[in-house]
Amino acid sequence: MACCARSIQKLGGTIREFAASGQLIDLAVAIVIGNAFTKTIESLVDNLLTPIIGFLLDGTAIGDLQASLEADRWSHKAPVILRYGKVLQQLIYFVIIVIMLSLIIGIVNGIYGSRRRNQVGTEQLPTRQELILTEHTNLLKSIARSLSH
């Protein structure tokens, strides 16, 4: 039991640390934004894309596409309905969300990447004082080498 109590205390400490670090708020905001993003994509697919594709498929809505499997052998049983239209609709959701997230991540990485490049560029340039100190160090090393020979 003592082992379990220590594990629970350790987990509680980890949760407190996570909550205190501010990442919990970031996570909550990400969940809310992700939910809103998903609802927006669902609305786009349900109200714009699937009606257009359905119009091109002779007026059949994508979500209503299905196949019925019936067997002559078991005519007393109800047919098995394969609702592949719902699967296609979910695949459309998935593809659009992946494309949108890829674009967003690319834009964010581009912004942060350019900031990092700018920061690295300024940090790598030595100051005038560092250049002078480097020259003095090199001069002292060469004097020490010449004295040791």
Say whether pLDDT at 149 is over 80. Answer: no
| Torsion angles phi and psi, residue 80, rounded to 5 | -90, 125
Domain boundaries, the chain: 14-148
Q: Per-residue pLDDT tens for 30-47?
A: 899 989 988 999 898 888
- Measured CA to CA in angstroms, residue 140 lies from 104, 143, 145, 147 at distances of 54, 5, 9, 11
Residue 35: its pLDDT value, please? 92
Q: Per-residue pLDDT tens for 90-145?
A: 999 899 989 988 998 899 888 888 777 666 555 677 888 888 888 889 888 888 88
Closest CA to 97 of 33, 54, 51: 33
**Does 109 or 72 have the greater pLDDT score?**
109
- Measured CA to CA in angstroms, residue 125 lies from 94, 128, 131 at distances of 46, 9, 10
In CATH, which superfamily holds the domain spanning 14-148? Large-conductance mechanosensitive channel, MscL; domain 1 (1.10.1200.120)
Contact 58, 80 (CB under 8 A): no
